[in-house]
Amino acid sequence: MLKIGVMASGGGSNFKAIIDHIGEGDLEAQCKFLITNNGTCGAVEHAKEYGIPVYHISGKTHPVAAEYEAALMDVLNRYDVDLLILAGYMKALPVCIVRRMENRILNIHPSLLPKYGGKGFWGIHVHEAVVAAHEKESGATVHLVSEEIDQGRILAQAKVPVMEDDTPEVLAARVLEQEHNLYWKTIRDYAAQL
């Protein structure tokens, strides 16, 4: 059975969607842990609800970079997961982690990469840029994580229309709905190739 670990910083809706699909039997996997850099985020509550071990590893808990990296590596070594899933994790991964899990870290991004990706393009900032540019469509992208932010190989995308009267918040909600459906299916399909 597929073993996954998840990293999240925020509300955890993508994390919850993945766990729900595991529970419903759509995704044959076990979630072994949640790593967060925000000990009070919604993802932590979801993990507790499902009995998933939580590790708060951040600049606050490990202010020295080498200790921070070692703490992350310790969790990865302890559980030896097949895939590491970033579900709204708002911090670039250390290069040592990316190299340790090469081609086995997936991320979901709220735009149609390569558009609106990279430094500064996260969360609502992505949707603000899309609306400001009067784009006709946006969407979500699942990609492999590489050493360059949002530059890894694209595995799947889901498109949504951008309406003339969209606010960034309205567009964000439309994209997020697609993320919840796209991510677990992409994890399933990519895992089948491993």
Identify the segments of the chain with pLDDT beneath 70. none
Active-site choice (21, 46, 109, 127): 109
Instruction: Give the number of C-alpha atoms closer than 13 A to the C-alpha of residue 86, restricted to the C-beta side.
Output: 25
Q: Angle 168-191/124-132 helices, nearest 10 degrees?
A: 120
Q: Which residue do the tokens 């990609």 mark?
A: 143
Q: Do 139 and 159 contact (CB within 8 A), yes or no?
A: yes
What is the pLDDT at residue 81?
Answer: 98
Residue 109 among the catalytic residues = yes
Cis peptide before 63 (omega within 30 of 0): no
Q: Considering the entire predicted model, what is its pTM?
A: 0.95
What is the pLDDT at residue 186?
Answer: 98
Q: Are strands 137-144 and 105-109 parallel, antiparallel or unpaired?
A: antiparallel
Residue ranges of the domains in the chain? Answer: 1-101
Q: Do 26 and 107 contact (CB within 8 A), yes or no?
A: no
What is the pLDDT at residue 145?
Answer: 98
- Residue 43 Rama label (left phi>0; alpha psi -120 to 50; beta): alpha
Domain boundaries 1-101, CATH class: alpha beta
